[in-house]
A and B are shown apart, each in its own frame.
Chain A
């Protein structure tokens, strides 16, 4: 995507992450390429098991169980894939930070919140104990925790779910990362709290000039928060482009299906659209298009012939053999309502 004015900080090229034996690998992420510009929020959307989380974890090299990562992950020009654990540790938490889905289980229950922030600062900065304490208060303040000064010695169980997610964000922000990987940060939260956390991430990204990759399965979250969107299915990219393009004028049958399953301007008691079938298991993916088994417009060649990502317009790529059929299939929707 050459349309961004801002410099690209992360350039993922042909990322492939697989588990299992080399003879019969389970490919969780297959030939995924995307870029993230400074200060940009990229949404990574897909169903459970589509490889979103594994993609994030591959970037930091923290996939478990240990898998094999191939391709290039260029972080400001430096490839992270061949780096050793020790070299990666200087990037993890310092330049690229990550927050997790479950605020309840992602904080160590036995350590105070202050210590969990401070250990990040110990690992990545030269601050002394008093400066670390001041910085921890500043961070809790930044993420909107009331009376931050008095909460440093509290334990995670003394915070509510939304507050714990804020604490996790504070920990992630400790050493001013340039990229935040957010793995479904709002999925486990109440809807009102979800909105607060998304706004917080948005404003932090804007104020700190921090890029964000926001993994979610919620198209509504994407529409509200992201500058660009990448849609994943079966470990592969289906469509990637600006939020306006992908949400407003989706082209891939899978994106179209996802969007159609969101309730919007429909009469009460109208059954919602749902994509037929279930996501394929990793060991049952066809060599061709991963979505072909559930696709309403799939042709005979689709399961065998992998569609390439091709540009449509200036800022969007789509991988599908039957773009016109998809438009025709999903098009009548507006007329029907």
Chain B
């Protein structure tokens, strides 16, 4: 297992990342054209009223002070009020977040179950028709954008065959599994294509490695050779890739959630952007940054658990 000091060191690395993200968000909003006070005030507001709004928002303070206030508010979970929905940003995001996380995890699990066994099959039959067929099908998945796969699945499986719902979100866990299968699948097809390519290649490499031959010469059972020696080594690079594609997948939810009308943070982000709802955009950007950082942190922890050479801090 990774040592405690490794975990602490890795956690500390998140701080500069967040600091950068916050500076970026802070500047972005202030560099955008337009005056939030005018946007918030009524059309006939006097200069004095606008000044009052600016004062209430703290916009009359120097930038560094504004930044510190922003950091303090963020750390206490105070992300302001959404202009569009007229509710606290934190509440809105927390209400929508579980759906998106559920969808992301669902598609990752689907992708792993799709890519894992097929990568094994392809790697154990390199350059046979089976291998070529598997690679061909997944190459197709890789070359189509996620929203297109989504629309295709919608048209065929939902609209014509009526096997699955066209969109929405269920109430229970099982209902969610059923409602979200098409969006999860369309994301999973793409992700699994990436995983399959990488896992197949590293499996082929590891199967030929000296330590696997040595394990065979030791008279170990095929099951132990496969799990302990082959799979574990092949997973080291695939885990990195999986982490990266979950990062990608987060931004992919913007499109998927819109295509399938799912009330998650991805679609919310899109709506917020169209409505120029700056507090909400800020909050969502921060949320995505946190999610991606957590995923990368988990990736690193899993990797250092797999590979002792990465544990030296």
Interface of A with B (CB < 8 Å)?
60, 62, 64, 85, 88-94, 97-102, 105-112, 119-120, 123-124, 155, 157, 168, 171-172, 181
Contact = CB atoms under 8 A, between A and B. Distances in A.
A93 B228 contact: no
Contact of A92 (B217, B224, B229): B217
Contacts of B309: 109, 155, 157
A119 B224 contact: yes
Contact of A168 (B214, B221, B233, B307): B214
B201 to A, nearest CB: 17
Contact of B213 (A64, A91, A93): A64
B218 A108 contact: no
Contact of B220 (A97, A119, A172): A119
Contact of B219 (A109, A111, A112, A124): A124
A335 B202 CA distance: 58
Contacts of B228: 108, 111, 119
Contacts of B306: 110
Interface stretch (B87-95, B170-178, B203-211): B203-211
Interface string B140-162: 00000000000000000000000
A142 B308 CA distance: 26
A96 to B, nearest CB: 9
Interface string B282-313: 00000000000000000000000011110000
Given A106-B214, A110-B233, A94 B219 contact: yes
A94 B218 CA distance: 8
A102 B308 contact: no
A123 B218 CA distance: 8
B127 to A, nearest CB: 11
A64 B222 CA distance: 15
A8 B138 CA distance: 55
Contacts of B208: 64
Contact of A105 (B209, B216, B217): B209
Contact of B232 (A62, A88, A106, A110): A110
13 contacts: A105-B209, A107-B214, A108-B211, A108-B215, A108-B228, A110-B233, A110-B306, A110-B308, A111-B228, A155-B309, A157-B308, A171-B218, A181-B217
Top 7 nearest A-B pairs (CB, nearest first) are A93-B219, A92-B219, A93-B218, A98-B217, A106-B210, A105-B210, A108-B211
Contacts of A110: 232-233, 236, 306-308
Contacts of A60: 216-217
A242 B216 CA distance: 32
Given A107-B211, A108-B215, 17 more contacts: A90-B219, A92-B216, A92-B217, A101-B210, A105-B210, A106-B210, A106-B213, A108-B229, A110-B232, A110-B233, A110-B236, A112-B308, A119-B218, A119-B224, A119-B228, A157-B309, A172-B218
A101 B222 CA distance: 23
A100 B213 contact: yes
Interface residues of B, number: 24
Interface of B: 208-211, 213-222, 224, 228-229, 232-233, 236, 306-309
B161 to A, nearest CB: 44
A91 B219 CA distance: 7
A10 to B, nearest CB: 16
A106 B211 contact: yes
B219 A89 contact: yes
A34 B222 CA distance: 31
A214 B224 CA distance: 28
B233 A93 contact: no
Contacts of B307: 109-110
A303 to B, nearest CB: 35
Contacts of A120: 218-220
A310 B298 CA distance: 67
Contacts of B232: 110
Nearest to A157: B309
Contacts of B224: 119, 123
A100 B219 contact: no
A111 B221 CA distance: 17
A109 B218 contact: no
A93 to B, nearest CB: 3
Contacts of A89: 219-221
Nearest to A119: B220
B210 A93 contact: no
B277 to A, nearest CB: 48
A61 B166 CA distance: 56
Contact of A155 (B216, B220, B221, B308): B308
Contacts of B217: 60, 62, 92-93, 97-98, 100, 181
Contacts of A97: 217-218
Nearest to B207: A64
